[in-house]
Amino acid sequence: MPFISKILKKERLSGFLERLVRDRQVFAPVKKGEVILIREIDSPSQVILEYRNAKESPKSVFFPQRETLFRYRAEKGKAEVDVPSGAGKGRVLFGIRPCDARGLLLLDKVFGGGSSDPYYTDKRSSMVVVSLGCVDPNPSCFCLSMGGGPCSAEGSDLLLLDLGDRYIAQAESEKGVALLEDQAFEKSDEKSLSLAEKTRKQAEASMQPVAKKANLEQELERLFSDPVWKDLAESCLSCGICTYLCPTCHCFDLCDEASGQAGERIRVWDSCQFPLFTQQASGFNPRPTVKERFRQRIMHKLSYLPKSQSMTGCVGCGRCVTECPVNLDIREVMVSLSEGNER
Amino acid sequence: MQQLTDEIRAIARKLLRDKQVDVVIGFERGSMPLRRRPCFVRKEEDADRLVWDGWCENTLATYLPKRKEKAAIVAKGCDSRAVVELIKEKQVQRDQIIVIGVPCRGMIDRAQVEASVAPARIAQAEEDPDFEETLRRTGSLHDCCKTCAHPNPVLYDVLAGEPLPQKVQDPFADIEAFNTMKPEERWAYLSREVEKCIRCYACRNACPLCYCPECFVDASLPQWVGKSVDASDTMIFHLMRAYHLAGRCVSCGACERACPVGVDIGKLNRMLLKEVRDLFGYEAGLGLDEKSPMATFRLDDPESFIVNP
Amino acid sequence: MVCDSGSLGVRRMADSGKWEPKIVAFLCNWCSYAGADLAGTSRIQYPPNVRIIRVPCSGRVNPFFILSSLQKGVDGVLVSGCHPGECHYLTGNYSARRKFALLKSLLEFVGVEEGRVQFSWVSASEGVRFAKLVEKVTNKVRALGPAKRLVKTPPQGVVHAAAHR
């Protein structure tokens, strides 16, 4: 993939978005009340780009909280089953952060791969991802420590970086190159390229590294029965916010909602943090307390997923840290478990 | 505030040293500026982790049900009222807990403070009760703290600090104002609020009075309410959670603070508190001997709502 | 038994296309259901819009019954029990009275139109009263129009901001 970058002057952004909205569905950060969320837009004026990060991750664009898998209707002894049709025109996910784009790669492995999930892959394959690099990361961000970075292009088709009066746009795929054909983009120059590099280095330098051991994911298996988990998890409320807002969490439940002789099977988000997540029909629950559930989440993200999918389950977006009502901090957990290596 | 912190630490040390309790549940500094979080202190030397200030917003009473050990709990007014309700509902035994009561001047709303300095970010903050330059403390309180009528714990074994003057104010002025809107306007407002909900159940889990092992949302035979973010199901979830808390909610605000997307949950909860007060003359958490309103009745209960053909 | 038919005129079956309200009535077995039965045996005419569900006591009515009915698109809900003091189970209707007072206030607060969900007391001997009650409730619900709030969109369409096409 040859390195192609162009310049997008800020005053031209609106025109670019107008043309995108005309031909495709565009999803971008918008303000809903006090909160920034990723939603479909119909006008560039709705887009907010001066923002830290959206409350919810963009996973809900591909893996919504509620998805109809099929509908059925039974009449006179016959049943009709009807699967919703796929995404129509092309789609663009605009202005998300690099951590979230990287998170999509993990979801691609889970929902793609051998037995792929058509509901996800259909939405994903028609989507072009345009991310906006972070010039000024939050104190709660730690993407760099998780193998990503504030200006990482992993998972993006096009990466934009704010250089003040203009963006520099770097294409990472054929889809990204195609977007750069738009009239809003002009040739880039050495000055912009070196400013971009400087910006990236500054952003990375501003981040506090997490003091975890390099081989933590190997060590975690050994630490499964360590008593430290009880202390780490004690204040957890099992509320599920961490999993719902996480860009890589993907557990779900299937429910049938019937109304007489018609109904639909839907998929809804579930959470390993919910107390009844592992409740068995016998009444036994292998994860009866917060300790087991909290440990499960950490192990899944930092140990099981890296083993099975060769990729970290945590992209360091920091949402679970800022939104946890009791300020449970996965970074502190990693540090604590790393120190535990000496135990 | 430092004085209260020192008092709480001293009380905790003594309780642990004398083995009166196995754990002291209080607050410690969090991992980010302006954050405090629940902590569980089991050793005397760890008592120095405990702090007390205007950011200690969590409702610690939520950690009491199903606890087997003897516990001391640092309780604000709202926490102590939740404890009273939990004792009445037999989720906690009175002699199993030691309540360290702390009169509370209200907890500050972090989001308001952060918004007022935005786009800059707060690197660190200390609280000074006399500091009035940038923000008035009273103006930055959480909504439920602004209308709180019970700053002093109603139940305690030991009190840290001095009782605060009781505020005389109408906690339901906003509910009355909302009631003057037309039904379609009220429906529109609440529908917009509920549309934000992602059904994470943080509100339910943060609530000290939501302790059911199987919540009504988990029931499948019959399924009372669907699990998805369908507009009707989500509205029913919020209506019925509020309804299940009627006469039990202590307006601690834990639900509103826990909500990641800012749904105005308090409106429904507090509306029912007003109804319970107006119809049955009851307020939650004030007396161990007062029977819960939905667990009892009077022969002369109001029935003006009954339709007579 | 003759009644002043002016006020209890027979409601004609719905002309095709003209909406008629569908009202679910939860009637307690011992009083209200018996009262409804008496209205029937006395041949008192009342609107056919009501679908009756018999429960042992008004206190058995779970608020979810009412909400589920509204979700399924019912236009009105009526709950009727024994008069206070006459409950077959002694105190069931007292509990019900408190529950329903709160539920009615809550539903009206959120904007469900006043008059959709109604509560009453009808005793076993009050056939006429039952018929009048149904007439009153049906007229009120008809005036309110079809229920739209709280109705769960049927399976054919899913409407929510969080679901993307």
Task: Clarify whether residues B154 and B186 are in a common domain.
Answer: no
Chain C nearest-CA distance from A9, in A, is 30
Task: Clarify whether residues B28 and B137 are in a common domain.
Answer: yes
Task: Clarify whether residues A172 and A286 are in a common domain.
Answer: no
Length of chain C in terms of residues written: 165
Q: pLDDT band for position A86 (50/70/90)?
A: confident
**Residues of chain B with pLDDT > 70: what percent?**
93
Task: Clarify whether residues A225 and A247 are in a common domain.
Answer: yes
| Predicted pLDDT of residue C144 | 95
| Predicted pLDDT of residue B171 | 83
Tell whether B68 is covered by a domain.
yes
Does A55 contact C at CB distance below 8 Å? no
Q: Which of C97, C109, C163 sits opposite B271 (nearest CB)?
A: C109
Q: Which of C72, C155, C163 sits opposite A66 (nearest CB)?
A: C163
Tell whether B150 is covered by a domain.
yes
Q: Which of B179, B188, B233 sits opposite C109 (nearest CB)?
A: B179
Segment A243-270 shows an average pLDDT of 91
Asked whether the bond before B33 is cis by omega within 30 degrees of 0, the reply is no
Among the listed residues C100, A256, C150, C60, the one whose alpha carbon sits nearest the alpha carbon of residue B236: C150
Would you call B224 and C91 a contact, using CB atoms and an 8 Å cutoff?
no
Task: Clarify whether residues A138 and A10 are in a common domain.
Answer: yes
3-state secondary structure of A336: helix
Tell whether A176 is covered by a domain.
yes
Does B158 contact C at CB distance below 8 Å? no
The DSSP secondary-structure symbol of A274 reads: S
Q: Could you read off the pLDDT of B57-89 as tens digits, one per residue?
A: 999 999 999 899 999 999 999 999 999 999 999
Q: pLDDT band for position C133 (50/70/90)?
A: very high
Task: Clarify whether residues B93 and B200 are in a common domain.
Answer: no
Task: Clarify whether residues B54 and B126 are in a common domain.
Answer: yes
Tell whether C17 is covered by a domain.
no
Q: What are phi and psi of A7, to 5 degrees?
A: -105, 140
Q: Which of C64, C105, C111 sits opposite B183 (nearest CB)?
A: C111
Task: Clarify whether residues A16 and A116 are in a common domain.
Answer: yes
Chain C nearest-CA distance from A226, in A, is 40
Among the listed residues A33, C93, C97, C88, the one whose alpha carbon sits nearest the alpha carbon of residue B301: C97
In this predicted structure, the answer to whether residue A29 has a pLDDT above a threshold of 80 is yes
Task: Clarify whether residues B273 and B133 are in a common domain.
Answer: no
The DSSP secondary-structure symbol of B288 reads: T
Task: Clarify whether residues B18 and B137 are in a common domain.
Answer: yes
Q: Which of B31, B198, B254 sits opposite A244 (nearest CB)?
A: B198
| Predicted pLDDT of residue A343 | 46
Task: Clarify whether residues B142 and B272 are in a common domain.
Answer: no
Task: Clarify whether residues A228 and A156 are in a common domain.
Answer: no
Tell whether A11 is covered by a domain.
yes
Would you call B279 and C152 a contact, using CB atoms and an 8 Å cutoff?
no
Q: Using a CB-CB distance cutoff of 8 angstroms, which residues of chain C are in contact with residue B275?
A: 101-102, 105-106
Q: Which domain holds residue A131?
A: 4-65+83-205
Q: Using a CB-CB distance cutoff of 8 angstroms, which residues of chain C are in contact with residue B298?
A: 94
Q: Could you read off the pLDDT of A284-327 as tens digits, one per residue?
A: 999 999 999 999 999 999 999 999 999 999 999 999 999 999 99
Task: Clarify whether residues B8 and B36 are in a common domain.
Answer: yes
Task: Clarify whether residues A197 and A222 are in a common domain.
Answer: no
| Total structural domains within chain C | 1
Q: Using a CB-CB distance cutoff of 8 angstroms, which residues of chain A are in contact with residue C160?
A: 66
- State the DSSP string of C102-116: HHHHHHHHHTPPTTS
Structure tokens at A207: 């981040």
> Exposure pattern of B223-247 as b/e (b: 16+ CB <10 Å)?
bbbbbbbbbbbbbbbbbbbbbbbbb
Q: What are phi and psi of A74, to 5 degrees?
A: -110, 125
Last residue of a domain, one of B94, B126, B159: B159
Does C159 contact A at CB distance below 8 Å? no
| Predicted pLDDT of residue B124 | 62
Highest mean pLDDT among A52-56, B9-13, B114-118: B9-13
- Shortest CA distance from B25: residue in chain A: A235
Q: pLDDT band for position C13 (50/70/90)?
A: very low
Q: What are phi and psi of B203, to 5 degrees?
A: -60, -45
Tell whether B305 is covered by a domain.
no
Task: Clarify whether residues A105 and A220 are in a common domain.
Answer: no
Last residue of a domain, one of A170, A205, A240: A205
Tell whether C75 is covered by a domain.
yes
Q: pLDDT band for position B127 (50/70/90)?
A: low
In this predicted structure, the answer to whether residue A248 has a pLDDT above a threshold of 70 is yes
Q: Which of A238, A257, A323 sits opposite B260 (nearest CB)?
A: A323
Task: Clarify whether residues A159 and A29 are in a common domain.
Answer: yes
User: Of B176, B243, B270, B296, which to mutate for an interface test with C (greatest number of C Cβ within 10 Å)?
Assistant: B243
Among the listed residues B49, B44, B39, the one whose alpha carbon sits nearest the alpha carbon of residue B19: B44
- Shortest CA distance from B207: residue in chain A: A237
| Total structural domains within chain B | 2
Q: What is the pTM of this model?
A: 0.90
- Tally B–C CB contacts below 8 A: 129
Task: Clarify whether residues A192 and A49 are in a common domain.
Answer: yes
Q: pLDDT band for position B175 (50/70/90)?
A: very high
Tell whether A75 is covered by a domain.
no
Q: Could you read off the pLDDT of A202-224 as tens digits, one per residue?
A: 999 999 999 888 888 888 988 99
Length of chain A in terms of residues written: 343
Task: Clarify whether residues A126 and A223 are in a common domain.
Answer: no
Chain A nearest-CA distance from B297, in A, is 34
Task: Clarify whether residues A190 and A258 are in a common domain.
Answer: no
Instruction: Say which residue, B278 or B135, is predicted with more confidence.
Output: B278
Chains that touch A (3 or more CB pairs under 8 A): B, C
What separation, in Å, do the N-terminal and C-terminal C-alpha atoms of chain B show? 61
Q: Which domain holds residue B257?
A: 173-295
Rounded to an integer, what distance in angstroms lies between the CA atom of residue C154 and that of residue C165? 17
Rounded to an integer, what distance in angstroms lies between the CA atom of residue C127 and that of residue C134? 11
Tell whether B308 is covered by a domain.
no
Segment B5-20 shows an average pLDDT of 94
Task: Clarify whether residues B149 and B179 are in a common domain.
Answer: no
In this predicted structure, the answer to whether residue C26 has a pLDDT above a threshold of 80 is yes
3-state secondary structure of B107: coil
Task: Clarify whether residues B133 and B216 are in a common domain.
Answer: no
Does A323 contact B at CB distance below 8 Å? yes
| Total structural domains within chain A | 2
Would you call A262 and C154 a contact, using CB atoms and an 8 Å cutoff?
yes
Task: Clarify whether residues A136 and A249 are in a common domain.
Answer: no
Tell whether A13 is covered by a domain.
yes
Tell whether B121 is covered by a domain.
yes
Rounded to an integer, what distance in angstroms lies between the CA atom of residue A185 and that of residue A20? 13
Q: Could you read off the pLDDT of A147-193 as tens digits, one per residue?
A: 999 999 999 999 999 999 999 999 999 999 999 999 999 998 999 99
Last residue of a domain, one of A158, A181, A205: A205
Which residue in this structure is represented by tokens 């149904």? C134
Q: What is the mean pLDDT of chain B?
A: 90
Q: Which of C84, C106, C120 sits opposite B239 (nearest CB)?
A: C106
Would you call C106 and B187 a contact, using CB atoms and an 8 Å cutoff?
no
Tell whether B300 is covered by a domain.
no
Tell whether B42 is covered by a domain.
yes
Chain C nearest-CA distance from A69, in A, is 11
Would you call A327 and B31 a contact, using CB atoms and an 8 Å cutoff?
yes
Using CA atoms in the order B242, B248, B249, B250, what is the torsion angle rounded to 10 degrees? 170
Chain B nearest-CA distance from A108, in A, is 23
Q: Using a CB-CB distance cutoff of 8 angstroms, which residues of chain C are in contact with residue B301?
A: 94, 97-98, 101
Tell whether A234 is covered by a domain.
yes
3-state secondary structure of C134: helix
CA B300, chain centre distance (Å): 32
Q: Using a CB-CB distance cutoff of 8 angstroms, which residues of chain C are in contact with residue B226?
A: 152
Does A50 contact B at CB distance below 8 Å? yes
Tell whether A61 is covered by a domain.
yes
Q: Using a CB-CB distance cutoff of 8 angstroms, which residues of chain B are in contact with residue A56?
A: 198, 260-261
Task: Clarify whether residues B183 and B226 are in a common domain.
Answer: yes
Task: Clarify whether residues B140 and B67 are in a common domain.
Answer: yes
Tell whether B304 is covered by a domain.
no
3-state secondary structure of B167: coil
Q: Which domain holds residue C79?
A: 23-144
User: What CATH number does residue C64 fall under?
Assistant: 3.40.50
Indicate the range of A215-219, A292-296, B175-179, C115-119 predicted with least confidence. Answer: A215-219
